[in-house]
Each structure stands twice: as structure tokens, then as C-alpha cells.
Structure 1
């Protein structure tokens, strides 16, 4: 039982930022998704309490900023359970019940129009969150949930809080998914909205082609491919071919802006 209100029912998933649970809100009699925030290194609070304090403050800030975003393609934040300085927060979110995009793609690739509709929804989510100063930094199929009608919902924004703390990334941990990470982020640069657009482009490439063009046999080889290898031209992308060609370029300044991407997807 969390905060004398949320009863944990089952674990839904986990990653670099912690665990996600299905929970029952006993006050409102509804199921919610409850995110248990954890740093990549569980011992962080012991050997670097200042970094742990900074992480906690940033997670709270990101959650509060995200809570101000009212958008159908962005996961809704209902509540924050703040246990104080000695505990990491729990974030209470809407429960999206249609599965993840990763689960959908495991069944086979999408048609270009289907992928374009999906991309339009994800891009709308990125526009809304970029407007309040939040970059996602880990756009990938597992972080896109689907409503029952197929509309995408972007989730798991909290990784931005970890990326900002150099003391956390100095341990050698890779924060984010290397095969969807923009080249400039692999190089340790700040990124910006264009880096999220690269990740969206790679997601759409995978959605229509059915495979990842830069994924290699291990993480280091994948990172090297992201930095150095050319993205092969897609064969199944149809009307999305030009968009993928323009957005999957290594110079972030050469990528289309959000308005251009919106028009192309439409």
C-alpha cells in the first residue's frame, strides 16, 4: 500500500528510471499506473547523497511540468506521492490499457499510412512537451502506449531528470536506448528537440520496415553504428520515404522543424 491510498496489483514494466505498477486507487475506485522512481544505481543515496537529492528534485520538477500538459497524446499525471528528502517519489498516472507500440510491432510492420497516423500523434505529444521545456530523450516503441482505439500516448518522460545530472551519467551507465538515441546525444551533447525528432524518425523506420537499421550485436557496436554508419534507404516506407530521408541525418540543424514534420505526416 502506497500513501495509504494506492494498492499495488501487478508490475507492468521497468527500465532505467524505475518500475511501473498497476495499482488500485482506493479513494476514487479506479486503476492507475504507479511509477516507482529509482536511479540506475540503487546505492546512489549512500555514496553521493547530493546527487540523490538533486535527482529527486529534478524528478519532481519534471513531473510537475508534465502535469501541466493537457494533451491526449501525453500520459496524464494524476498525483505525486512525495515521501520526503529520504525517499524517491512515486508518480501516479493514467492507466493506458491498449498495450505498447512495441507489442504491436512484435506482430509485424505497419503500413505507411498507419505509421504516419501514429507519427502524427507522437509528434503532437513532443510539440506539447517541448513547449513547456521537456525533451523526452528516450522516444522508442516501448515508451509509446496505445489507447484502445489505437491512438498513441507518449510516456516515461522522467529520464530527462537523470540525463541532466552529470554525476549520474559519469558512472558509465547509458541512460536511454542506444538504438533510438540521436548521434549528438551519443556524443554527450545537449541535444534539443531535433534529437527527439531523430528518435521519432527511427521509430517510424522500424514501424514500416520491420527491422532496426543500426542495431548491432551489442550496445557498443550499436553506438558506433549510430555515430558512423549510414541509414540504408527504406524499401517499404512509401510516402514516408522522404520524411525518413530528411530526419535521419546526423546534423541536427539539417533536420526538419516540427511544423515541416507535421505537414509531411499529414
Structure 2
């Protein structure tokens, strides 16, 4: 596909200029004389258009997507083919604000990022309820109107390519930075794969880059499947904690641990940042007449004047009774909260230091070690090094979270690095922390960059690190 279409006609559309180009299609600005309007014409790449199976599937998908009527889904106006030039194309609304990818490269304001993600989540929820999964949610597939409203586009193309024999020609089926773990592993995809991809987009809007980047696509896919994302607040402290938890839950490796629907994700985003206006109030759903129906001039319906109900002043006795009940309720809640906080504080203050010390000491000593890269004295280096206090300090926030935070079960594993000394030699120890069911788990990973191969003991362990 090249610029030789400029100045020609595709059906009733006069091609005027090229807007953008990708691996699967080229987008042009065109003029539709019959309706005196400019539209966008998306012409599929030659290898796709020449495949008869692909054309048949794409026409079916275009008709399905054209039935979607949502303020954050790019509407499809028309579909056509030009057999003489082996061209397949469809017509959409011309959006002048560009793509979201053109806005990225640096963090967006938190409220704007959440607003865009919430809108797109509502669009995905609408599409999912109509049986359509996107499979390729990424910034270049999110257009922005001039007033900043996001429009999701390119539904289903990745699935059509996957279902045809074009998968053997090397055609890309997605962008690794935005693929879900199940997509990276080639597993069947459901709506929660779109939720994961949208969470990656939200992460990039907040931080300025995707959570996973590497020199090769294979390395990125490996990270998507096996490595936890860096915590957003460590890279941008002004992100609210509630918002961070929403992002990390949507990025869960296991689809079952993500939000059940894209609509639930949108609601969680609105709760995490109440200052954003819900979608239904920002963009009222347009009312589209049935095909061929005549549209009559709008009729102004005057709303009746509201009925004024005279205010009745309650009797003094009722007021006193109400105030007394309200006061008892408030005092009861406050007292319960104080008792709970006191118990938690006492447990943490009295037993916290001993529990953490024992936990860290057990982590360092009570394990069956395999060792690579150092001599056999490496285990002794770990056990004798001044690493216990730094590791205890690093573990403390996670222990507190495991005890007090009901959402600790949703916290993904995190890697912390602590620094200490052994005979004046600096040491760096990396540990993997995870809170599950109110229990904190510690797995040592690397010492001075050298992997530690640790196997949990099945028998008693002495303080030298061996099993009894």
C-alpha cells in the first residue's frame, strides 16, 4: 500500500491525504461528496486483502462492530472492496485529535490518565457484553477527539489474522508490551485479556513507559508471563495508593485475580479517584434512529414546575431523641475503631519486632541452599553478614500490610534490595516478598547479582543452613 491512492476514488470516497500507516493498514483522509463530509478510510495491507478467507472474516467482523453504539468506540460508517486493485477498506469517523500514543512519552496528569482509562474500560465492557473481544488494546488503537474523548478502534483484526493462514506469514498478532500473559503463552483469550492490556496502557499513561521493556520481543513476553511489574508509586509517589492497587490488580498474571469485567475496572477507577466524572454524565449515549427511519424535528418538552412541599418543623422531643440516637451510634463506632486500632498497635509494638526478627533470621538460616558462582563459603557470607537489620526494615511495611490490609492478598510479589556488609565488603541482597492470606513470605533471589538457588527444606534445619 502506498501513496498512489491519493487523488483517486474508492467507491464514493475521494482520497485526499495519508493520515497514518501501520503493519496491517494505511489510513487516509477522504471526502464523501454525497453527505458533504470528511471521513477516514482504512485500507488493509495487500497481503491481507488478497486472502479470500481473511476478506470474508473481516467483512463479518466489520458488520458486527458496526452495530456497536458507544461514545468511546469509533463508529464504522461503511465497508467496501475494490477487486480490480485488490483493496479492502472500511470507512470511519475522521478524528482530528490523533492517537493516544502521540501523547505519551511522558506521564500524563493522574486525573486525565484515569479518565481515559475509565472511558476505554466502559467501551470494552460494552463490547464484551455484545460478544466482541478486542485482543489488541494499545495506545495506537485509542484515538482522541479534539476535546480529549478517547475512541477505541480496530476491534477484532488480530483475531481474524490469527484464525486465517496469515499467521504463517509472520504477520504480527499484537504488541508484546501490551500483551496479557495468556496471550504471550498462546492460550485462548477472554475479556480479562483486554483488561490486562488496558491496565498496561494506564500504567504507561501514569509512569511514561510500559511496565515491561527489553531489547527483544521474547524478553518482553518473558517479563509479561513471569515478572511482577514495578510498583507505580515507587516511580511516581503522587499516585494515590488506592489507584496503585487498582492498577496492580488489573495487571495480575492470573486472569482470575483481575477484575471480573471491564465495567468493574471502570467502577474501581472512579472509586480510586472520585474527582473524575462518571462516563454516563460526561458523554450521554447518543440516540440513533433505525436505518431508513425519518428523523422529525426536535420537540421541546417543558418540564413541570417542581412542587414545593412546606417544611414541617419537628417537635423538640423528636429532635432530642434523634440527636441522642445519632450520638450513641457515632460513639459506638468510634469506640469500636479505637479498640481495634489499640489491639493492632499493641500486637505490632509488643510482638512485631520479635516476630520480624525471627522471620528474617529464619529466612536467612532455615533453608536448604544450592549455590552458583561463589565458593562454598558463600552460604556463610549470607548467614554472617550484617543483612538482618536492613532486611527487617525492608520487610516491615509488608508485614504491616499483611496484618492490617484486607487487600493484601491482591498485592503481587515484589522485589526489594537491601544492602549490608561482610568483613567491610559491601553486599546487596535481593529478596522476593509476597503477602498471601495474611502471611508474609520471603524468598531470597540474588546476592551481589549472583542468583541464589534456594530449595525449601523438608526436615529440621540447623543454624549452619543444612537439613538435619
| TM-score (ref. length: structure 1) | 0.89
Unaligned runs of 5+ in 2: 1-7, 271-468
Shift of 1:43: 8.3
Counterpart contact for 1:16–1:176, Cα < 8 Å: no
Q: Which residue does 2:381 correspond to in 1?
A: none
Q: Does 1:219 align with 2:233?
A: no
Matched residues in 1 for 2:225 and 2:84: separation?
A: 39
Query: In structure 2, how many angstroms separate the alpha carbons of the residues matched to 1:215 and 1:193?
Result: 24
- 1:249 aligns to 2:257 (yes or no): no
- CA displacement 1:111-158 (0-9 Å, x = unmatched): 222211111110111112222222111111111111111111001224
Q: Indicate the structure (1 or 2) with the bigger Cα radius of gyration.
A: 2
Q: Is the 8 A contact 1:111 1:208 kept in 2?
A: yes
1:121 counterpart = 2:124? no
Q: After superposition, where does 1:39-188 map in structure 2 within 5 Å?
A: 42=47, 45=50, 52-83=51-82, 87-106=86-105, 108-188=106-186
Structure 2 CA distance for partners of 1:4 and 1:181, relative to 1, 3 Å:
same
Question: Secondary structure of 2:10's partner?
Answer: coil
Q: CA deviation at 1:226?
A: 1.5
Output the CA distance in 2 between the equivalents of 1:43 and 1:98.
28
Partner in structure 1 of residue 17 of structure 2 = 10
* Deviation string, structure 1 residues 95-118 (Cα, Å, up to 9, x no partner): 111121111223x31222221111
Q: For 1:209 and 1:8, how far apart are their aligned partners in 2?
A: 38
1-side partners of 2:79 and 2:48: how far apart? 23
Give the Cα separation in 1 of the matches to 2:30 and 2:84.
24
Structure 2: how far apart are the matches of 1:74 and 1:162? 19
Confirm or deny: 8 A CA contact 2:30 2:38 kept in the other structure.
Answer: yes
Partner deviation per Cα, 1:58-91 (whole Å, 9 max, x = no partner): 1111110111011110001111113359944210
From the superposition, tell whether residues 230 and 179 of structure 1 become closer, same or farther in structure 2 (CA, over 3 Å). same
- Tell me which of 179, 196, 199 is aligned to 2:197: 199
Partners of 2:230 and 2:167 in 1: CA distance: 31
CA distance in 2 between partners of 1:21 and 1:3 (Å): 11
DSSP 3-state at the match of 2:125? helix
In structure 1, distance between residues paired with 2:49 and 2:66: 27
Q: How many residues align?
A: 257
SS of the aligned residue for 1:89 comes to strand
CA contact (8 A) 1:35 1:91 kept: yes
Q: Which segment drifts farther, 253-262 or 140-149?
A: 253-262
Is the contact between residue 49 and residue 88 of structure 2 (CA under 8 Å) also seen in structure 1? Answer: no
Equivalent of 2:39 in 5, 18, 32: 32
Deviations 1:189-215 (A, max 9, x none): 121100000000000001001122211
- Whole-angstrom distance in 2 between the partners of 1:43 and 1:102: 24
Range 70-79 or range 97-106, more displaced:
97-106
- Is contact 2:53-2:164 (8 Å) kept? no
Provide, for residues 169-194 of structure 1, a one-character-per-residue CA deviation record: whole Å limited to 9, x for no partner. 23344311111011101111121100
